[in-house]
Structure formats: C-alpha cells, structure tokens
C-alpha cells in the first residue's frame, strides 16, 4: 500500500517520528513536508534527532495568513497527490497542514486517515478547532487517542471508521526517553542541575495575539519568584517585540529546543506551565503538575484526573497555581499503552 503522509509543524514531526518508522516496515510511505515550520529549530532538528525519514517533498509554503498558507498548501499538494496517486493520505493533529492535507485528498477522492481525531475545545474561534472539526468530517479512518475524543465524534454523528488506539505522543515519549537522558546536555548547558524550576511554553494564537493576555502571562512569570525556563516559540518572540514586553531575570529564555532537550527539561522540572496541547500531555506522562494558560482544554481527562489545572490568563490565577497547585489523585491510564503506532499499522493493513 502507498501511504502519503503530510506534516508541516513541530508537533507533527514528533508524531510522525513514532508512526512513520513503523509504517515503513510494511508499506511504502511518501513523506510531504508543507514547510509551515521552517526554522532549523522548528523543523530540521526533529528530523535529525529523531531519525525521521527525509521528506520526499518539501513544499516550502512558509508563514502567512490562514487563507494564503492553507490555499498555497492545497495548490501544491494537489500536484503531488496527482503525481504519486497514494492509496491513503495520513494527517496528524489540527494545524493548517492537517486541514490542507485532508481537504486536498478528499476532493480527489483519496481516503484520509486522521491521527489524533475527535479532540474538541468547543471553541470555534480557535484555528485548531476549525481544522479538527473539518478534518474529522472528511476523514475515512479516525484514530482517536482517548475515550472522550471517541464520544465527541459520536456526538457529531461520526461512528464509522473510528478506532481508539491511544496516543502516539505516548509512544514517542516511551521511544525517546532513554535517548533523551543519554544524549541531551540541556540541563548542564542551562545550569539547572539540582535546581528547582518551572518549565513554560507559550505559543497559542489566542494568547500571543492579545496584548492584555500576553502581558498577564509575562507579568505572572516575572513575579512568581521562581526560576522559569522558557524555550520561546518564534510566534511569541515576534509578539513580545511588537508589544514591547520583556521578561525579568528569573525567566531563562532560550530559542526553541529539540525534542530530546524538551523531554529532559520536562523530566527535571518541578511544574509545567503551558498553553500547548502536546506539552499538557507530556506533563501527564512525566507525572508533573501542569498549569494550562487557556480557558479550556481538549485533554479533559488530565484535568478530571487532577493533574492539570486550567487557569486562563488571569495573572493572579497563574501565580496562585504556580505556587500552590498540587495534583490531588493518583494517575489513571488515559492515553493507552504506548502501542498506538502499531495499532494504526494493523488497522491500515486490514483496510
């Protein structure tokens, strides 16, 4: 079977690292990078560190408005699909690359498989929610990571082709944890050995694109009285400059780091404060208290289980959680057993 996989943004490279190498044992895979993320530390580092096969195509789409970015992807993907004639198109997550990959296939009547289907924030103002809902409704095979994702699809009338396989990011952590411990020197480089610190990431458009929200977040981190480590997403760096916002000395700002470095930073942290989807899950995998600077989350089980606290962007709420939040319960198994990628392969084989 010929499977064409579309990736484009950082979290998709990590998910593909778990799935592609397994798929390639049995099938031929054409890997297409849309070029949505293109800085070395947002793209190349993952392919190198995680041994992801070199993309067969890099469409070089780059940054732009939603319409321009997604539209350019559609035009370029169509040429590749027409040439390669895949049996399946595989997409991950909820970015503009996901939607373009799925929509282009659907129009050409090529079956679409969506990994990380069924997630919902029920906030249609998020570009990610628009991408997820649309992608799910044109997908033929929907690999959901959690029970709540399965239920979300059922509530929208999607019942056929839905498989709860667990979370491929859990596979990725299990695959790469050991390598991260032995290879990454980030803890020494940032002089963090034996020190308590909060690990933070910020990049969600609903936070970065509003000066009041970003100011609150920056203010809370500056005032929390703890060492904060912040690998800064380029989007956030751009908006910080535009708004004239600055971090104080307790916040160690770095460029985005590779996945192995990130795993190490997570493993050694005291708490994680984030607005990322993937990092919320990784906090759970690492048994670290997570504080989520959003009004809602798609990863509801982490909250129900007492390991994730939703605080929005209120400065006092962030500060209070950074200082006082302690998970209340033992962890339940939410994300499967770390064999999501093999299950995906089995199901694709049967189809």
**Residue 8 touches ligand UDP, criterion: CB under 6 A:** no
- Torsion angle of alpha carbons 151, 157, 161, 162, nearest 10°? -10
Nearest-5° Cα angle at 277, 189 to 253: 30
Judged by CB under 6 A, which of 39, 156, 295, 316 binds ligand UD1? 39
In the complex, the smallest distance separating the C-beta of residue 111 from ligand UD1, rounded to whole angstroms, is: 23
Q: Alpha-carbon distance 317 to 172, whole Å?
A: 32
Contact of residue 200 among ligand UDP, ligand UD1, none (CB under 5-8 Å per partner type)? none
How many other C-beta atoms can be found within 10 angstroms of the C-beta atom of residue 67?
Answer: 9
Query: Which stretch in 63-71, 84-92, 237-245, 252-260 sits in contact with ligand UDP by CB under 6 A?
Result: 252-260
Site size toward ligand UD1 (CB under 6 A) is: 19
Closer Cβ to ligand UD1, 12 or 227, answer by number: 12
Q: Alpha-carbon distance 291 to 325, whole Å?
A: 8
Contact of residue 14 among ligand UD1, ligand UDP, none (CB under 5-8 Å per partner type)? ligand UDP
DSSP result, 163-185: EE---HHHHHHHHHHHHHHHH--
Touching ligand UD1, residues 17-36 (CB under 6 A): 36
**Residue 38 touches ligand UD1, criterion: CB under 6 A:** yes
Q: Which two tokens stand for residue 94?
A: 């909820």
In the complex, the smallest distance separating the C-beta of residue 28 from ligand UDP, rounded to whole angstroms, is: 27
Query: Which stretch in 21-29, 134-142, 275-283, 339-347 sits in contact with ligand UDP by CB under 6 A?
Result: 275-283
Residues serving a catalytic function are 203
**Residue 37 touches ligand UD1, criterion: CB under 6 A:** yes
DSSP result, 264-318: HHHHH-SEEEE--HHHHHHHHHTT--EEE-SS--S-HHHHHTTSEEE-TT-HHHH
**Residue 72 touches ligand UD1, criterion: CB under 6 A:** no
Closer Cβ to ligand UD1, 125 or 193, answer by number: 125
In the complex, the smallest distance separating the C-beta of residue 41 from ligand UD1, rounded to whole angstroms, is: 8
Q: Alpha-carbon distance 334 to 192, whole Å?
A: 31
Q: Are residues 319 and 228 in contact, defined by beta-carbon separation less than 8 angstroms?
A: no
Instruction: Bin 161: left if φ > 0, else alpha if -120 < ψ < 50, else beta.
Output: left
Instruction: Name the site residues for ligand UDP (rule: CB under 6 A).
Output: 10-11, 14, 201, 203, 231, 256-259, 262, 276-279, 282
Instruction: Name the site residues for ligand UD1 (rule: CB under 6 A).
Output: 9-11, 36-39, 42, 63, 94-96, 127-128, 203, 205, 234-235, 238
């Amino acid at each position: 079977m010929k499977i064409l996989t579309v990736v484009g943004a950082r979290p998709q490279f990590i998910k593909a690292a778990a799935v592609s190498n397994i798929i390639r044992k049995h099938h031929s895979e054409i890997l297409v990078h849309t070029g949505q993320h293109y800085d070395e530390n947002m793209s190349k580092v993952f392919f190198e560190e995680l041994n992801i096969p070199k993309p067969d195509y890099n469409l070089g789409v780059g940054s732009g408005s939603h319409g321009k970015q997604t539209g350019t992807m559609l035009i370029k993907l169509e040429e590749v699909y027409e040439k390669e004639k895949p049996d399946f198109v595989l997409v991950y997550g909820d970015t503009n690359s996901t939607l373009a990959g799925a929509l282009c296939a659907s129009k050409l009547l090529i079956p679409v498989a969506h990994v990380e289907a069924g997630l919902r924030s029920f906030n249609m103002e998020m570009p990610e929610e628009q991408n997820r809902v649309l992608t799910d409704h044109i997908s033929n095979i929907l690999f959901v990571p959690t029970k709540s994702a399965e239920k979300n699809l059922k509530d929208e009338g999607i019942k056929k082709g839905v498989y709860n396989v667990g979370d491929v990011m859990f596979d990725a952590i299990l695959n790469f944890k050991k390598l991260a411990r032995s290879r990454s020197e980030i803890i020494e480089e940032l002089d963090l050995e034996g020190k308590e610190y909060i690990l933070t990431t910020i990049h969600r458009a609903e936070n970065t694109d509003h000066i009041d929200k970003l100011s609150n977040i920056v203010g809370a981190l500056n005032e929390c009285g703890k060492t904060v480590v912040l690998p800064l997403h380029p989007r956030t760096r751009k908006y910080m400059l535009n708004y004239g916002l600055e971090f104080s000395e307790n916040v160690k700002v770095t460029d985005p780091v590779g996945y192995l470095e990130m795993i190490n930073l997570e493993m050694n942290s005291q708490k994680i404060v984030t607005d990322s989807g993937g990092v919320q899950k990784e906090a759970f995998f690492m048994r670290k208290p997570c504080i989520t600077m959003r009004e809602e989350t798609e990863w509801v089980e982490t909250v129900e289980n007492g390991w994730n606290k939703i605080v929005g962007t209120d400065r006092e709420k962030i500060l209070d959680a950074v200082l006082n939040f302690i998970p209340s319960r033992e962890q339940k198994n939410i994300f499967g057993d770390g064999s999501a990628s093999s299950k995906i392969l089995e199901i694709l084989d049967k189809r």
